[in-house]
């Protein structure tokens, strides 16, 4: 079975540019989660969706970040404009139900110069 698929795996861009990260969850999973991982702060939840609807976006750091889930098989996390402090590894995860284990993609390593 295909796991969670994220693209791109690596992204290097200059400050001020728009960045779009993509995620395809496991088919049939109703929950989708976006995380950011840094050495300083570890894994932090940014936002999660249930049946394509955003449920909790309290972890989104500021208005420069936005996330959408237009259908059950695709989600995007967008940063506009990007800043060097946004450099991190961004993970997407999905779960069958909210109380069940989350399954993670291999992440997007983002570097903002």
Among 2, 63, 71, 99, binds other proteins (CB under 8 A): 99
For tokens 């259908």, the residue is 71
Among 7, 17, 98, 111, binds other proteins (CB under 8 A): 98
d(CA 35, CA 58): 12
CB of 91 to other proteins, least distance (A): 5
Among 62, 63, 71, 101, binds other proteins (CB under 8 A): 101
Q: Residues 16-55 vs other proteins: string with x where CB under 8 A?
A: ---------------x-x--------xxxx--x------x
Q: Within 13 Å and on the Cβ side, how many CA atoms surround 10?
A: 1
Candidates 11-19, 20-28, 70-78, 95-103: pick the segment binding other proteins (CB under 8 A). Answer: 95-103
What element of type H or E holds 46? strand 42-50
DSSP 3-20: --EEE-SEEEE-TT--EE
């Amino acid at each position: 079975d295909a796991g969670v698929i994220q693209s791109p795996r690596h992204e290097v861009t200059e400050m001020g540019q728009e960045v779009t990260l993509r995620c395809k969850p496991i088919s049939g999973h109703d929950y989708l989660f976006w995380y950011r991982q840094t050495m300083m702060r570890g894994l932090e939840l940014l936002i999660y969706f249930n049946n394509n609807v955003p449920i909790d976006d309290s972890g989104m750091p500021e208005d420069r970040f936005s996330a959408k889930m237009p259908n059950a098989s695709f989600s995007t996390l967008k940063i506009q404009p990007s800043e060097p402090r946004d450099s991190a590894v961004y993970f997407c995860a999905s779960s069958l139900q909210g109380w069940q284990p989350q399954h993670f993609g291999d992440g997007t390593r983002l570097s903002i110069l």
